[in-house]
A = this chain, B = another copy of it.
Amino acid sequence: MATRGRGTQDITRDVARIVGDSRVRDGLATVWIHHTSASLMICENADPDVRRDLEAFVSRLVPDGDKLFVHTAEGDDDMPAHVRTVLTQTSIGIPIADGRLLLGTWQGLYLWEHRTSAHRRQITVTVIGE
């Protein structure tokens, strides 16, 4: 999956399609991201300002170029990306009912790219059930 640098992208439909193709009716879909500078999040999917505000909040909480950090060889945004990943999710288990992800009305699943530059990111969905 290609990202365009720091920010979130909705991957709910991609994961829903994998669940649909699996033919599992009831069970669990566990989403995994194979990286330590990008993460997963469940977030409100109606108003894009919510993701904007999340980005603003986390950027203030974990500022790029913080003098605290020693690991700076890969850029000012690299160590903050690791911190952001640790404070959010690498793995999320979502229930499946009637062959669909059992998400709340306002829940979307997002890939959160924490590096400022574009990256390719790999995600695995493990579907368990019957």
Contact = CB atoms under 8 A, between A and B. Distances in A.
Interface of A: 27-28, 30, 32, 34-37, 41-44, 47, 49-50, 52-54, 56-57, 60-62, 66, 68-71, 79, 82-83, 85-97, 102-107, 122, 124, 126, 128-129
Say how many copies of this protein the assembly contains. 3
Contacts of A83: 53-54, 57
Contact of A28 (B42, B90, B92, B128): B128
Contacts of A95: 30, 32, 124, 126
A71 B47 contact: yes
Contact of A79 (B50, B66, B107): B50
Nearest to A106: B36
A107 B90 CA distance: 10
Question: Per DSSP, are chain A's interface residues mostly helix, strand or loop, or mixed?
Answer: mixed
In the A-B complex, the 9 residue pairs with the closest CB atoms: A34-B104, A49-B71, A36-B44, A42-B90, A30-B93, A95-B126, A53-B69, A49-B70, A91-B93
A106 B35 contact: yes
Contacts of A60: 68
Contacts of A107: 34-36, 90
A43 to B, nearest CB: 6
Contact of A27 (B47, B68, B71, B126): B126
